[in-house]
């Protein structure tokens, strides 16, 4: 006999990787989800599908007895908040990677090779802007096909990083 997956089981399993109940409920499940669905096996399966897709999780790992696994992630470089934090922040990376996937699927930008000389980059930026500031840098990056986005919607227990590049 196979064990029926419950939302309680899912919440418990996800909390073991740092995704607490409130975070999963607000960010993993659709807005129309209500607690009456928690006791309906088919609804729980559908909920697991939403959670996996939205939080960049391997769907199969939600049903296994093993630990929750994230989808394969691209090579990533981090700027960490603290040099003491040597561990890679896997949960934050997986969530930020999902956001990056969504942004790239919604935009049509082609990457343009950047000049090797920073003076040339400066001149290019100043052709369209009066000064070099955050806004002009962001516009320049986007014009070159470099997507820059801000995401800081993590669970409180998630180990974070200052920035990442993929």
Residues 76-101 pLDDT 10s: 777 766 655 455 467 888 888 888 88
Residue 122 — left, alpha, or beta (φ > 0 → left; ψ -120 to 50 → alpha)?
alpha
**CA 156 – CA 166 distance, rounded (Å):** 24
Question: Smallest Cα–Cα separation from 30: which of 50, 57, 10?
Answer: 50
Please give the C-alpha separations between residue 138 and each of 35, 48, 134, 148, in angstroms, as whole numbers. 42, 36, 6, 7
pLDDT band of residue 8 (cuts 50, 70, 90) is very high
What does pTM read for this prediction?
Answer: 0.71
Tens digit of pLDDT for each residue in 134-151?
A: 999 999 999 999 888 888
């Amino acid at each position: 006999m196979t064990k029926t997956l419950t939302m309680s089981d899912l919440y418990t399993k996800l909390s073991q990787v740092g995704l607490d109940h409130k975070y999963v409920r607000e960010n993993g499940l659709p807005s129309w989800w209500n607690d009456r669905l928690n006791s309906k096996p088919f609804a729980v399966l559908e909920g697991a599908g939403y959670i996996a897709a939205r939080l960049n999780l391997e769907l199969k790992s939600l049903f296994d007895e093993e630990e929750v696994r994230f989808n394969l992630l691209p090579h990533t470089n981090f700027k960490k908040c603290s040099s003491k934090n040597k561990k890679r922040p896997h949960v934050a990376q997986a969530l930020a990677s999902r956001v990056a996937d969504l942004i790239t699927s919604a935009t049509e930008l082609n990457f343009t090779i950047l000049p090797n000389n920073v003076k040339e980059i400066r001149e290019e930026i100043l052709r369209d802007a009066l000064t070099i500031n955050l806004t002009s840098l962001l516009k320049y990056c986007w014009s070159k096909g470099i997507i820059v986005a801000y995401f800081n919607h993590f669970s409180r227990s998630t180990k974070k990083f200052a920035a990442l590049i993929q």
